């Protein structure tokens, strides 16, 4: 299954894990909409894919588990700011069945106003709001957070 890493700065551990998995790396640091455009384009391409964000380190087993699961939308949780486990797009599979859905791609970043979060987080929240609940897989993927 296609593995895509949208990045501004790739964490070295993420880079190692994903190069082994033959991931595609996409620079989305150009502007706040770049991540959103990438998701829209992947959707339009219609081929199942796994998003792994630039500071998430899934194991090879976890990537295989997502790819093998028959459910359309699957994710692993990870620790955010050291505590609560969250499911966002950190490590998420979008299955073929899902990609046939028509989505609303016109979107104003900032509209959801997640105080203290970068604006691109709005895009993933908006995308997930249009999809059925994700199948959350057992266990956590490693989240390295901001580079030191
Ligand atoms: Zn699943």
Q: Domain boundaries in the chain?
A: 2-143
The CATH code that applies to domain 2-143 is 3.90.550.40
Q: Which residue has the higher pLDDT, 109 or 70?
A: 70
| Span from the CA of 140 to the centroid of ligand 1 (angstroms) | 14
Tell me the pLDDT band of 102, cut-offs 50, 70 and 90. Answer: confident
Among the ranges given (49-53, 117-121, 134-138), the one the predictor scored with the smallest mean pLDDT: 117-121
| Span from the CA of 89 to the centroid of ligand 1 (angstroms) | 14
| Span from the CA of 136 to the centroid of ligand 1 (angstroms) | 6
- Compute the distance between CA of residue 38 and CA of residue 123 in angstroms, rounded to an integer: 11
| Span from the CA of 107 to the centroid of ligand 1 (angstroms) | 28
Q: Is the per-residue pLDDT at 115 higher than 70?
A: no
- Compute the distance between CA of residue 101 and CA of residue 139 in angstroms, rounded to an integer: 29
pLDDT over 90 percentage in the chain: 58
**Model pTM greater than 0.75?**
yes
């Amino acid at each position: 299954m296609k593995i895509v890493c949208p990045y501004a700065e790739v964490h070295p551990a993420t880079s190692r894990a994903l190069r082994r998995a033959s991931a595609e790396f996409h620079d989305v640091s150009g502007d706040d909409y770049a991540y959103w455009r990438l998701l829209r384009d992947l959707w339009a391409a219609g081929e199942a894919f796994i998003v792994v964000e630039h500071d998430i380190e899934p194991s090879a087993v976890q990537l295989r588990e997502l790819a093998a699961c028959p459910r359309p939308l699957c994710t692993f949780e990870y620790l955010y700011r050291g505590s609560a486990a969250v499911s966002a797009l950190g490590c998420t599979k979008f299955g073929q069945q899902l990609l046939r859905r028509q989505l609303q791609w016109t979107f104003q970043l900032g509209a959801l106003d997640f105080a203290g979060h970068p604006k691109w987080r709005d895009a993933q929240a908006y995308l997930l709001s249009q999809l059925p609940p994700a199948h959350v897989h057992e266990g956590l993927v490693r989240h390295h957070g901001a580079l030191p």
